[in-house]
Amino acid sequence: MKIGKPAISAAGPKAVYHAMEKAFHAMKVSKTFKILGALNQKGGMDCPGCAWPDPAHRSKLGEYCENGVKAIAEEAIDANADADFFTKNSILEMRGKSDFWLGQQGRLTQPMWIRKGESHYSPVDWNTVFETIGNKLKSLPTPDDAIFYTSGRTSNEAAFLYQLFVRIFGTNNLPDCSNMCHESSGVALNHTLGIGKGSVKLEDFYQSELILIFGQNPGTNHPRMLTALKKAKENGAKIVVVNPLKEAGLMSFQDPQSVLGILGIGAPLADLYLQIRINEDVALVQAVAKKLLERSEKDPSVIDSDFILSNTDGFETYQKALNTLELESLISRTGLKTQEIEEFVNLVTDRKKIIACWAMGLTQHVNAVDNIQEIVNLLLLKGSIGKPGAGTCPVRGHSNVQGDRTMGIWERPSKEFLDTLASTFNFEPPRKHGVDVVGAIEIMHQQPEKVFMSMGGNLLSAAPDTSFTTIALENCAMTIHVSTKLNRSHLHPGEIGFILPCLGRTDIIQEKSGIQKLTVENSMGMVHSTQGNQVARSEYLLSEPHIISQIASRTLGNQIIEWDSLIDNYDNIRDLIGKSVKGFESFNERIKENSILELPNGPREGKFTNDIGKARFTVNSLPDYQMEANELLMMTIRSHDQFNTTIYGMDDRYRGIYGIRTVVLMNKSDIENLKLDVNLPLTLSSHYEDKIRKVEGLTIVPYDIPSGCIATYFPECNELVPIHLKARKSYTPASKSVKVKVSQP
């Protein structure tokens, strides 16, 4: 373990070095270059890293980032966790290993199962897999006794087939990783603007005058966004960052595609960096709006009254509510200086083309929906939606998480979507809403004997309240994980547990008609194809659509859908998508030319597609925690060396933390006031009505973070997030604002 100084600039030659070091450690050199040469190139493969869009002109030097290379190394790793590996390692032994170790064992190569009383997984043939799952599903008292989870790497084709199968089977139990991620954005944006997605395109960044970045760490999680920010700045944009931590990637960017960047010279990014207290974003934006409205009394051009009058609803109520708030108390909540807020207001006052970006720093709080709605209020005041260079930009996480939703992976589908499925496929889909992630875990916990199927992902480590979720999984009659890599969820099977290995983004998919393409949708609503270039490493690997079709055919037969022949050619699947999902008409023809499908987006064109046909101003409440004097507010965040629950390494280079993940980033004044010894292990405990949750053996890292706030890593501290602590309306676990107490032996 080593603690050094946090970095003040991201990317550059060091990033290239670290990326290649990881890649060459995991894979042969020739394989590395073959994959990287196709990564994010037209007709090549979509990076499994994040959902940031590709620019129109792709760099020949390489259109990927350090963490994209790490994602590739993780998936295309030469090592295999094969049948032999499972013979040598019991699940009890594997539970004692770290997440990093689990990932290093390599790709899954053969279907495995484990039955009650057994200590080891053993190989099973695909036919037995499909028969056993089909028979189990058919035998359930009701289809709602099965839960079908999806993670966001799943392709459009797989996602579409999966939801269709699940709905013909008879349930809307389709929770997904979005429930823990941007659900709050979807709820807020649907209500206020009429579409649960962002409104900007990549080109808007190049025309914007002001870019606001709330609760996001793009230097680690969306590194290619830094290129867009740099270009925006070159074109004159200003950048305001709102974040409790000084994240290196938001301060300066060493562009590895430029001479200066290669020399390690960074281009400054943030013009104003507001180190806000955790979850005081509503207070900040309300303070800014109050000041703007005050200024607009003298100079009406400060806000866009024409836009407000003709395109929005609820302005007066909003203004009245703002008037009841006291500016001083709003400012004091944020922990920021009046001068800093004044500078923010100055930047907003003179500019009309504003983009607001955000990620998990806003979406994972009890009042997460309020956070986003308040930002929409600010954009509406400025008329900054539906014109070039302006709009909303929720920066998505998983590379196809947005596409999965477009394809119907959602426990609360719209009536319109179900009606179209009903008329296209001639069956009556279930109308009752299904369970989301938290709902699923709660019913699996309360009622044993459920079937849990996971299309990718790692529910156990991604979900809150780890011990609670462990019991939920172990309670199941059957757990089915379609996965590329070994993970902790596999180690807590139900009475029967399956691990079904599948082909990943980097692999070639062969079906009867030949090599198949898949498609994905990026964070800005653009759909394009993706095709791997690695020959399958084992004869047992099947694609996700293939596995779904076989489970469907054994469960439902081939009456409504010809599942067995459908997958001979994935054009067949895209034909079905074209018939039943808006915006995908003539899908096959359009995707064949390697062209990009731009999905319909009302707000992008200034059309608000919610129930009232106008953008809504909303009145949002401030968080109310009732903190005790010795309590701190904890956010669980990602290190630079992980992709969600997949741990690439033990370092968090930009934050100066090496060789350890069980850390607590804490302000020096809190360390002093709470009389803590940085040399002793720390215990964190969260005290909510139902019980006290604890994580022991943590290490204090004195850090530049507002006092009263601490940061820990996800998934190590998920244990502390109570299952019932979730956002209003979106039900997203509030894993960025958990009240905790500290203690030392």
Ligand X SMILES: Nc1nc2c(c(=O)[nH]1)N[C@H]1C(S)=C(S)[C@@H](COP(=O)(O)OP(=O)(O)OC[C@H]3O[C@@H](n4cnc5c(=O)[nH]c(N)nc54)[C@H](O)[C@@H]3O)O[C@H]1N2
Residue 96 C-beta: closest distance to ligand X, Å? 18
Q: Which amino acid is at 663?
A: V
Neighbours of 266 (CB within 10 A): 22
CB of 285 closer than 8 Å to CB of 375: yes
CB of 242 closer than 8 Å to CB of 706: no
Distance of alpha carbon 530 from alpha carbon 594, whole angstroms: 9
Residue 634 C-beta: closest distance to Mo ion, Å? 19
Residue 371 C-beta: closest distance to ligand X, Å? 8
Bond into 448 cis (ω within 30): no
Say which residue the tokens 């999680």 belong to: 221
Residue 622 C-beta: closest distance to ligand X, Å? 13
Distances (CA, A) of 580 to 424, 432, 559: 7, 20, 18
Residue 732 C-beta: closest distance to Mo ion, Å? 10
Residue 720 C-beta: closest distance to Mo ion, Å? 19
H runs (alpha helix) in 478-542:
none
The residue range among 74-82, 181-189, 193-201, 718-726 that interacts with Mo ion, by the rule CB under 5 A, is 181-189
The entry of Mo ion, ligand X, none near residue 216 (CB within 5 to 8 angstroms by kind) is ligand X
The residue range among 3-11, 69-77, 177-185, 714-722 that interacts with Mo ion, by the rule CB under 5 A, is 177-185
Residue with Cβ nearer ligand X (399 or 618): 399
Adjacency order of strands within the sheet including 597-598: 518-521, 526-530, 597-598
Residue 634 C-beta: closest distance to ligand X, Å? 10
Say which residue the tokens 């680690």 belong to: 220
Residue with Cβ nearer ligand X (153 or 739): 153
The entry of Mo ion, ligand X, none near residue 645 (CB within 5 to 8 angstroms by kind) is ligand X
Distance of alpha carbon 552 from alpha carbon 558, whole angstroms: 8
CB of 302 closer than 8 Å to CB of 351: no
The entry of ligand X, Mo ion, none near residue 67 (CB within 5 to 8 angstroms by kind) is ligand X
The entry of ligand X, Mo ion, none near residue 245 (CB within 5 to 8 angstroms by kind) is ligand X
Residue 682 C-beta: closest distance to ligand X, Å? 18
Bond into 715 cis (ω within 30): yes
Structural Rg of the chain based on CA atoms = 25
Residue with Cβ nearer Mo ion (71 or 348): 71
Residue with Cβ nearer ligand X (148 or 608): 148
Please list, in sequence order, all residues whose beta carbon lies within 8 angstroms of the beta carbon of residue 259, skipping any fewer than 6 positions away. Answer: none
Q: Helix, strand, coil proportions of the chain in percent (round to 5)?
A: 40, 20, 40
The entry of Mo ion, ligand X, none near residue 451 (CB within 5 to 8 angstroms by kind) is none
* 287 part of the interface to Mo ion, by CB under 5 A: no
Residue 169 C-beta: closest distance to ligand X, Å? 19
* 497 part of the interface to Mo ion, by CB under 5 A: no
Residue with Cβ nearer ligand X (221 or 475): 221
Interface with ligand X (CB under 6 A): 49-50, 67, 151-153, 177, 180-181, 214-217, 220-222, 242-245, 247, 276, 278-279, 281, 359-361, 364, 397-398, 455-459, 462, 482-485, 487, 502, 504-505, 544, 635-638, 642-646, 714, 718, 721, 735-736
Residue 434 C-beta: closest distance to ligand X, Å? 17
Residue with Cβ nearer ligand X (45 or 303): 45
Residue with Cβ nearer ligand X (312 or 402): 402
Distance of alpha carbon 615 from alpha carbon 314, whole angstroms: 9
Give the number of C-alpha atoms closer than 13 A to the C-alpha of residue 567, restricted to the C-beta side: 23
Residue with Cβ nearer Mo ion (406 or 534): 406
Distances (CA, A) of 346 to 205, 321, 332: 20, 23, 19
The entry of Mo ion, ligand X, none near residue 242 (CB within 5 to 8 angstroms by kind) is ligand X
Of 677, 685, 744, 680, nearest to 710 by C-alpha is 685
Q: Which amino acid is at 297?
A: E
Burial class (CB in 10 A: 0-12, 13-18, 19+), 427: middle
Q: Tell me how far the alpha carbon of residue 269 is from its chain's centroid.
A: 24
* 397 part of the interface to Mo ion, by CB under 5 A: yes
The entry of Mo ion, ligand X, none near residue 642 (CB within 5 to 8 angstroms by kind) is ligand X
Length of the chain: 745
The entry of Mo ion, ligand X, none near residue 44 (CB within 5 to 8 angstroms by kind) is none
Residue with Cβ nearer ligand X (244 or 578): 244
Q: Out of 181, 376, 393, 682, which residue is the one contacting Mo ion (CB under 5 A)? A: 181
Residue 463 C-beta: closest distance to ligand X, Å? 7
The residue range among 277-285, 296-304, 367-375, 397-405 that interacts with Mo ion, by the rule CB under 5 A, is 397-405
The residue range among 154-162, 396-404, 467-475, 548-556 that interacts with Mo ion, by the rule CB under 5 A, is 396-404
Residue 364 C-beta: closest distance to Mo ion, Å? 9
H runs (alpha helix) in 258-326:
259-262, 281-298, 305-311, 315-323
Residue with Cβ nearer ligand X (356 or 671): 356
Please list, in sequence order, all residues whose beta carbon lies within 8 angstroms of the beta carbon of residue 103, skipping any fewer than 6 positions away. Answer: 74, 485, 486, 487, 646, 647, 648
Residue with Cβ nearer ligand X (617 or 648): 648
**Count, residues near Mo ion per rule CB under 5 A:** 2
The entry of Mo ion, ligand X, none near residue 205 (CB within 5 to 8 angstroms by kind) is none
Say which residue the tokens 């590709």 belong to: 54
Residue 149 C-beta: closest distance to ligand X, Å? 7
The entry of Mo ion, ligand X, none near residue 164 (CB within 5 to 8 angstroms by kind) is none
Residue with Cβ nearer ligand X (230 or 365): 365
Q: Which amino acid is at 676?
A: L
Distance of alpha carbon 11 from alpha carbon 258, whole angstroms: 11
The residue range among 32-40, 163-171, 173-181, 457-465 that interacts with Mo ion, by the rule CB under 5 A, is 173-181
Residue with Cβ nearer ligand X (308 or 725): 725
Q: Which amino acid is at 72?
A: I
Residue with Cβ nearer Mo ion (647 or 700): 647
Residue with Cβ nearer ligand X (19 or 637): 637
DSSP assignments along 685-741, one per residue: EEE-SS-EEEEEEEEEEE-S--TTEEEEETTTTGGGS-TT-B-TTT--B-TT-EEEE
Residue 400 C-beta: closest distance to Mo ion, Å? 12
- Residue closest to Mo ion, measured at CB: 397
Distance of alpha carbon 263 from alpha carbon 245, whole angstroms: 26
Of 560, 575, 576, 567, nearest to 168 by C-alpha is 560
The residue range among 44-52, 312-320, 364-372, 391-399 that interacts with Mo ion, by the rule CB under 5 A, is 391-399
Residue 567 C-beta: closest distance to ligand X, Å? 16
Say which residue the tokens 């999965």 belong to: 404
Distance of alpha carbon 528 from alpha carbon 511, whole angstroms: 20
Binding site for Mo ion (CB under 5 A): 181, 397
